[in-house]
Amino acid sequence: SQKVMEVFENRESQVRSYSRSFPTVFNKAKGYKMWDTEGKEYIDFFAGAGALNYGHNNDRMKEKLIKYIQDDGISHSLDMGTTVRKEFLERFNEVILQPRNMDYKVMFPGPTGTNTVESALKIARKVTGRQNIVSFTNGFHGMTLGALSVTGNAYNRGGAGVPLNNTTSMPFDTFLEEDQSLTFLKKYLANASSGLDLPAAMILETVQGEGGINPASFKWLREVERLCRNYDIILIVDDVQAGCGRTGTFFSFEPAGIKPDIICLSKSIGGYGLPLALTLIKPEYDTFGPAEHNGTFRGNNMAILTATEALSYWETDEFAKSVQEKSKLITKRMETIVEDYPQLKATTRGRGFMQGIVCGEGKEDYADKICAKAFEKGLIIETSGPEGEVVKFLGSLIIDEKGIDQGFDILEEAIEEIVK
């Protein structure tokens, strides 16, 4: 294994990060488990950074894929009409949009989360004729220049080399004390005429993932929506990480009762870990003409095929309920850790299958050490937050209670060793 790791060290760019955090060579994965070339088993509390909500090598999707390839189904066809695209659009409407009384056009903006964010920002600027975008502290929206310009963490900018223009960063709900962020926003918008441009859009995550598992309150989300309506600002919810059931409902904003103008989906929308992104657009804002936003890989039929299969999890509310039920166990296990290890000065936060243990002031380093130790013991879990201070649970939604307990047992053993 050490020899194989050398290939990464010697030949791959030093930008690589996960092969550093998880220093082994994996060759097999199923459900919520992964294995390395030495046959060591790992519980996966990371799930491809949230791209594997339905687990590794999901049987139902795998079966569909194998048959499709055997039958010479079309793998790549840009946005040409295919039976796979047709079926996906029909099923997405039937299973996701209609039951929620949501009328949105579906755009395939390119293969990644970053692509959907780019398309959303461009649409907002096009339909409003305004340039400025309001984003929020600690938000994460992607790595290309548009998405990067609304990403809050400076370290992600990697010396972008060009000015990231026309954006205004505002304090996120959890960044200030209760209601202060709203006061700030309201004052900012009320004074936009005196020199500050009104924004084309506001872009936010309902639970910030990379930013440290910061859940906005439902009240805050509703107030932000109201402000957007008052000033004709496009509300973009980036549900790339928090969507597809991760917080216990298909869209993360459902319990808040808001209706964003544009919704960004990626990561788990493809279902099998295949790259796919969607931009959902209220019909009145569906204004791009042909080729105004294109891309070679916006029509990966295999990803759309598995995405269609993934929708069957949402035909009844059974799956959502199981996610909500299991998330109580995650909360319980995290709260126990916080109580049992006061040395961490930790708190917990999050929603559903997106929860974190936040190591307190002066103890931020613990998170990294805990995750590294847990990895040695067979658990894949990563940190998040501006100081890497959060131990972040992001397991597959299909994990059962036994798997959750197994993972948390390992986590506790790791913490025990780190804090002693």
- Tell the smallest beta-carbon distance from residue 230 to ligand PMP (Å): 26
- Tell the smallest beta-carbon distance from residue 73 to ligand PMP (Å): 24
- Tell the smallest beta-carbon distance from residue 13 to ligand PMP (Å): 17
Of 106-114, 174-182, 307-315, 335-343, the segment contacting ligand PMP by CB under 6 A is 106-114
Residue among 42, 140, 313, 375 that touches ligand PMP (CB under 6 A): 140
Distance CA(306)–CA(53), nearest Å, equals: 12
Residues 85/295, Cβ–Cβ less than 8 Å = no
Q: What residues are paired with 235 via a beta bridge?
A: 202
Residue among 31, 209, 388, 403 that touches ligand PMP (CB under 6 A): 209
Task: Provide CB contacts within 8 A for 179, sequence distance 6+.
Answer: none
Task: Provide CB contacts within 8 A for 199, sequence distance 6+.
Answer: 130, 132, 133, 134, 168, 192, 233
Residues 234/124, Cβ–Cβ less than 8 Å = yes
Half-sphere exposure of 407 (CA within 13 A, CB side): 30
The interface with ligand PMP within residues 264-303 (CB under 6 A) comprises: 266
Judged by DSSP in three states, 236 sits in strand
Of 136-144, 161-169, 170-178, 279-287, the segment contacting ligand PMP by CB under 6 A is 136-144
Distances (CA, A) of 99 to 94, 317, 347: 7, 11, 37
Of 98-106, 236-244, 278-286, 296-304, the segment contacting ligand PMP by CB under 6 A is 236-244
Contact map string, positions 112 to 131, toward ligand PMP, x by CB under 6 A:
xxx--x--------------
Residue among 47, 49, 120, 127 that touches ligand PMP (CB under 6 A): 49
- Tell the smallest beta-carbon distance from residue 355 to ligand PMP (Å): 15
Handedness of CA 357, 358, 362, 365 (dihedral sign): positive
The interface with ligand PMP within residues 237-256 (CB under 6 A) comprises: 238, 240-241
Of 40-48, 111-119, 126-134, 280-288, the segment contacting ligand PMP by CB under 6 A is 111-119
* Amino acid occupying residue 22: F
Nearer to ligand PMP, 282 or 392 (CB): 392
Strand duo 278-281 + 105-107: pairing: antiparallel
Residues that bind ligand PMP (CB under 6 A): 49, 112-114, 117, 140-142, 205, 209-210, 238, 240-241, 266
